[in-house]
Structure formats: structure tokens, C-alpha cells
């Protein structure tokens, strides 16, 4: 497919800086774009990278336009309101997504006699749907998926290959779960009695609300009582662990290898970078943010950013880190002071003896 820059300028209400006859056949990142590709400037921090850019055209936001110079050695620019949003739309035009197949319920899938399957739902070969399961309309259940007894799946849900949904789990509408994720396994709960670990039964469930997306190989454990809850619109990366009885708020976002211990609760719009570890029975307030590899031993107030081990507020942690950079110099100073104190002590002793 080929698009002209004039067409794109008209469609997005953009302004062209440079050659308006550029023809676009592909979409690439700033570093890899060629003469027939369009790319975009993520933010003003990356303006300096434009000098090495070989793209046919670069989308930039209007607010960044003043920082971008034009010239023979620079690519053509298309100024738009939101560069990333425009790039995504153009990319989808140039790389149309594969159409959704309409296979219905495969005769090579196992579907329990009392299971209910909605209209326009695909059950691929090798999937296993147990009794008393209900699946809504427009869903895609890929090969190797297991859905346990009594689970309820909403409309327009996608379960990628080898997803495991244990019994009596609830998924809302438009939930996406990527390959090999496990939802509803028993929580890691034991009592130590008579010099051995005794299993605590987990008789609760998992309740995943609308528009949640869960990454590959992520695990979300069922509760001991009640429900482990994942709030509406929350996005969870690959290899994340959510333990039993956690209650996650709306529109949270967690990067890979984050782990929540049992009974953690969060507000809305909480964000965790990669490898965050959160102790059990604590609360992360609305809009709080945790930096990468943060170890969280206590509650985080709403709106605050914490990082480090143990987690501290960003302002405090930055002061500590800045102080640590001065430790070698402080060590030298301390040695000099110790030497001077020893010298003065010896002088005092000599004067005392002389007296």
C-alpha cells in the first residue's frame, strides 16, 4: 500500500515542512526508518536523533515544532496534534491486521455437555471447555486453552494458546489473556504446625473486570475466601505474579516481573515498573508510582512516587543517592580527621607528661 504525504496531511489536518510529494509505503521506528518509511518523534528529548534519521517523513507534535529545524540534510516533517496517535493510525493502514477467522466450535475441541457458548465465538482445536462454563459472544479461545468447571467468560474475550482458567473464575468483557497465563491457581498459603507446613484451603475465586489485559506466563491466584480482584482497564505485563486475596483497582499498569504478595490492595491508576516487589497486606494509594526493582514494605500514599529498597519517596531517595556519590570523598576526609585527632591526642599526652 502507498500513501502520499499530501493525503496524510489532509486526513490528519497536518502541516508539511519540506517536500510534499513524498510517497510512504512503510512505517518504522526513528532509528530504522528508510526513504519510503514514515516514523514519529516520541518527545522533545529525541530531537537530536533527527540528524541521523533517513525516514521519508517524520511525524512531530505541534508543541515540539519550534525545536525542530528544517534543512536539506533533515527529513520532511508532518506536524500533527498527537504524533504517536497519528503514527499508529497510519501504521494500521500500511499493515492491515489479519482478519479474524470464523471457525465456530471445532469438532477437535472438547466442550462439556452443560457448557454454554455464545454467538460468533471461535473454539479452536485442542481447547477444553468444562461443564457449567459460560462463554459470551465474539470470543476467541485458542488451542490448548483450559477453562475449568463453572467459570464465566464475558463477550469479546481472547484467550491465547495454553491459557489455563481454573474452576469458578469470572472474566468480564473484552478481556485479553496472553499465552500460558494461569488464572485461579490456589494461593501460596500454609500454616506451620508440628514442624511441618499444613496447606490452607483456598475456596475463593478470581474476578477479572472488563477491558483487562494480562501478559504471557502471568499468574493470578484465587483467594482463600472472597475473590482476588483485577479492576477494570488494568494492564498487566508478562511474568507478573498477583497472589491470593489481592484487590487491584481500576486502570493500574504493571511491568514484567512485578510481584504482589497476598492481600495487597491498590487504588486506581497505580503504576509499577519492572521487578517491583510488594509485601502483603499493604495498600498502594490512587495514582502512586513505583520505580523499577522497588521493594515495598509498607503503604504508599496516593499520588506519591517511590523507588529503591526499601521504598522511599522519590525526593528522599534522590537525596540519599546523591549523598552516596560523595562517600569516597567523605571517607578520605574522615581518615584525615582521624589522623589529625591521633596527632592532637599524642601532643596532649606529651604536654601532660611535661607538666
Q: Please, what sign has the CA dihedral across residues 339, 341, 347, 349?
A: negative
pTM of the model: 0.87
Mean pLDDT of 194-215: 97
Q: What is the pLDDT of residues 266-302, one digit of tens each?
A: 999 999 999 999 999 999 999 999 999 999 999 999 9
Residue 236 β-bridge partners: 214, 254
Residue 135 near residue 114, CB atoms below 8 Å: no
CA-CA distance, 100 to 89, in Å (whole number)? Answer: 19
| Angle at CA of residue 176, ends 130 and 273, nearest 5° | 130
Domain residue extents for the chain: 3-94, 110-315, 326-354
Mean pLDDT of 196-215: 97
**Number of Cβ within a 10 Å radius of residue 67:** 12
CATH of domain 110-315: 2.160.10.10
CA-CA distance, 162 to 143, in Å (whole number)? Answer: 7
pLDDT score for 71? 56
Q: Please, what sign has the CA dihedral across residues 234, 238, 240, 245?
A: positive
Domain 3-94: which CATH class? alpha beta
CA-CA distance, 302 to 90, in Å (whole number)? Answer: 38
In 3D space, the residue among 262, 261, 264, 272 whose CA is nearest the CA of residue 234 turns out to be 272
Q: What is the pLDDT of residues 220-233, one digit of tens each?
A: 999 999 999 999 99
Catalytic residue IDs: 244
pLDDT score for 20? 83
Amino acid at each position: 500500500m502507498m500513501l502520499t504525504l499530501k493525503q496524510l496531511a489532509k486526513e490528519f489536518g497536518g502541516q508539511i515542512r519540506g517536500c510534499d510529494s513524498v510517497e510512504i509505503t512503510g512505517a518504522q521506528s526513528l532509528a530504522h526508518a528508510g526513504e519510503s518509511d514514515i516514523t514519529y518523534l516520541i518527545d522533545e528529548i529525541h530531537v537530536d536523533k533527527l540528524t541521523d534519521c533517513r525516514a521519508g517523513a517524520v511525524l512531530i507534535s505541534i508543541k515540539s515544532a519550534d525545536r525542530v529545524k528544517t534543512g536539506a540534510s533533515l527529513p520532511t516533517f508532518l506536524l500533527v496534534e498527537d504524533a504517536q496517535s497519528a503514527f499508529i493510525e497510519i501504521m494500521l493502514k500500511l499493515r492491515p491486521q489479519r482478519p479474524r477467522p470464523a471457525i465456530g466450535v471445532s469438532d477437535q475441541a472438547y466442550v462439556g455437555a452443560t457448557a454454554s457458548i455464545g454467538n460468533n465465538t471461535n473454539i479452536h482445536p485442542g481447547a477444553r471447555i468444562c461443564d457449567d462454563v459460560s462463554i459470551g459472544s465474539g470470543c476467541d479461545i485458542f488451542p490448548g486453552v483450559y477453562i475449568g468447571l463453572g467459570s464465566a467468560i464475558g463477550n469479546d474475550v481472547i484467550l491465547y494458546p495454553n491459557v489455563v482458567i481454573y474452576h469458578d473464575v469470572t472474566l468480564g468483557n473484552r478481556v485479553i489473556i496472553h499465552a500460558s497465563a494461569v488464572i485461579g491457581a490456589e494461593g501460596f498459603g500454609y500454616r506451620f504446625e508440628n514442624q511441618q507446613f499444613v496447606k490452607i484451603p483456598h475456596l475463593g475465586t478470581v474476578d477479572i473486570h472488563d477491558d483487562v489485559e494480562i501478559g504471557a506466563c502471568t499468574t493470578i491466584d484465587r483467594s482463600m475466601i472472597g475473590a482476588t480482584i483485577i479492576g477494570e482497564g488494568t494492564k498487566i505485563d508478562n511474568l507478573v505474579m498477583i497472589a491470593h486475596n489481592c484487590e487491584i483497582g481500576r486502570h493500574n499498569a504493571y511491568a514484567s516481573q512485578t510481584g504482589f504478595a497476598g492481600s495487597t490492595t491498590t487504588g486506581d491508576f497505580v503504576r509499577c515498573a519492572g521487578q517491583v516487589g510488594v509485601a502483603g497486606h499493604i495498600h498502594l494509594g490512587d495514582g502512586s508510582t513505583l520505580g523499577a526493582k522497588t521493594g515495598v514494605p509498607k503503604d504508599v500514599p496516593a499520588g506519591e512516587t517511590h523507588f529503591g529498597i526499601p521504598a522511599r519517596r522519590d525526593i528522599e531517595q534522590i537525596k540519599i543517592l546523591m549523598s552516596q556519590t560523595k562517600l569516597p570523598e567523605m571517607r578520605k576526609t574522615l581518615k584525615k580527621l582521624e589522623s589529625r585527632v591521633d596527632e592532637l591526642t599524642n601532643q596532649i599526652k606529651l604536654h601532660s607528661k611535661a607538666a
